[in-house]
Amino acid sequence: MERRLDCIPGDCLAKSDEWTTGLKGTYSRNGYIYASIAGTVKIVHNDDNTKTLEVLRVDRNRHLVPQMDSIVTCRVLSMTASVVCIA
């Protein structure tokens, strides 16, 4: 059974090197590959022992990004009278 890995924009997917590169739905920064869209990570193992990662958009009926009235777990980093910064 294939393992499914869901991600949201900004999730670190892997270290970028000569053996691992990112394709559609990803971007590279500071030697790491990150998701640029919400979706499912697809890892393709190539014939030359390299692998490529891409993020495929999920079914429109699934919600990876919280919607209005979603319950989430987070940590409050700072607060003002009108804004709460969380992580």
Given this model, what pLDDT does residue 62 score?
65
Q: What is the pLDDT of residues 22-40, one digit of tens each?
A: 999 999 999 999 999 888 9
Given this model, what pLDDT does residue 79 score?
92
Going by their DSSP bridges, the two strands 26-29 and 76-79 should be labelled as unpaired
**Rounded Cα–Cα distance for residues 45 and 62 (Å):** 27
Task: List, for the chain, all residue ranges whose pLDDT scores fall below the cut of 50.
Answer: 1
Instruction: Name the CATH code of domain 1-60 (choices 1.10.8.80, 2.40.128.20, 2.40.50.100, 3.40.50.150).
Output: 2.40.50.100
**Rounded Cα–Cα distance for residues 20 and 34 (Å):** 12
C-alpha pair distances (Å), 1 with each of 4, 64, 83: 9, 22, 44
